[in-house]
A and B are shown apart, each in its own frame.
Chain A
């Protein structure tokens, strides 16, 4: 075998490639690779949050609103109450743009469907009434969280948690974990693109390839975690996370909270008179 010296191109590199076209042997894998790529693209670059109102709602009020709604849904067993809470939620959804509403509906139906599948065996154990109530409550909780996710950026979530005096270490861990997950998603997406560029024919050992990819991802994520911590230490991090001062709320922030506070009051006094 003769090894060519640099810049003296070998013959095979100076001749055009014979294009080959081999039939796909692993359609299932190829199909799923595309699905995974789309999923990773969404993870690495999530769709931007939309603000449905004219003013920017304070992150802490937005989080309190979600907390009250989820709490009320979880605590009540009264269908009229669920209906009222559903109406309140529907009122918020009405101001969403059609495209956002479509996104909301798609993901909400999917998550509620999964919840229904999980709880379905109880239909035969305790009867349809419990299943129906559970699905209604779960559906409403999922809708509230989906709406929150759709209208709130990750930065706003962190600001909201800071304003509500959540432990700093928890906020920092959440921030690093989400950023890290997105980074890993982006990394895996890029790796799959690179693999796609060099998979010029159906893969000979596709499962071995998947194993190699994930092994690499593990090694690199471990190295990245160590580097990240070293970088934090180099910038003075000593285990104590100091956060920035929180923003103050304005009058219209409190105004949007009013219906929720009214509901809480009615719920508490309703409990005394036994209507929830």
Chain B
């Protein structure tokens, strides 16, 4: 059974369409890269998958559980879902609200009621994994764009989610930092995590051989290809390089 199953899923904004009739099955342990032009619905899909918004039409099932508006309205169900799915926002500024990086990363584990020793262990591990140990005592508000991205990822990782959703995680990072992040994501996938990321950076992402789900400007899925299948389609590759 697929971990995430979308059936005829659509989402409408007050005056525009966000997503149109998506049918998609995502399995546990996969590395999925959502690609497509600006405004094609990648971020909207991530918000629906994370349970922040219910779909307007169609169904979204996570681990066999259909995520409905009623399900999301129940705080306990919502929290159970958020324990399993982590989201790194495109604008990481909105995600960091604590007074120090250490508190930021410790925020999630503290809510889980872990012991102080466990929390400290998780914080140090996550900071090390994201190459942010030197930022531990800094104020998140004063970090640079790339540093904020790394701290935001660390703060989500500290919750040990089953699925990691990332909205344009490579934006604002140097080439070296992009490679470090992709390597970390690939390692997490190898450890059984499901990685779903939206990105425009085809060249960088290609290296980790993800499954490509490509959106078109009509908010529909244009193609769903493995890295090997995509390698045989030079036209599609050329199109992705222009994004």
Which A positions have Cβ atoms within 8 angstroms of B?
1, 3-7, 9-10, 12-17, 19-24, 27, 30, 34, 45, 47-48, 187, 190-191, 193-204, 212-213, 216, 219-220
Contact = CB atoms under 8 A, between A and B. Distances in A.
Contact of A201 (B99, B111, B124): B111
Contacts of A3: 124-125, 128, 133
Chain A CB count within 10 A is highest, among B122, B131, B160, B183, for B160
Interface in B51-110: 52, 73, 75-76, 78-80, 82-87, 89, 91, 93-95, 97-99, 107-108, 110
Given A19-B83, A191-B94, A213-B97, A198 B155 contact: yes
5 A-B pairs closest in CB distance: A190-B94, A194-B95, A10-B125, A201-B111, A200-B83
B90 to A, nearest CB: 9
B128 A6 contact: yes
A198 B86 CA distance: 8
Contacts of A20: 83, 112-113
Given A7-B187, A201-B79, A190 B89 contact: yes
Given A190-B89, A220-B93, A17 B120 contact: no
Contact of A13 (B14, B47, B191): B191
B94 A187 contact: yes
Pick from B97, B107, B117 the residue with the most CB of A within 10 Å: B97
Report whether over half of chain B's contact residues are helix, strand or loop; otherwise say mixed. Answer: helix
Interface of B: 13-15, 47, 50, 52, 73, 75-76, 78-80, 82-87, 89, 91, 93-95, 97-99, 107-108, 110-113, 117-118, 120-122, 124-125, 128-131, 133, 141, 155-157, 159-162, 180, 183-184, 187-188, 191-192
B121 A10 contact: yes
Contacts of B183: 7
Nearest to B165: A197
B156 A198 contact: yes
A258 B22 CA distance: 52
Nearest to B120: A1
A47 B14 CA distance: 6
Nearest to B122: A12
Contacts of A5: 128
Nearest to B191: A14
Nearest to A9: B191
A71 B119 CA distance: 64
* Interface hub of A6, A193, A220 (most chain B Cβ within 10 A): A6
Given A10-B121, A17-B161, A30-B75, A48 B82 contact: no
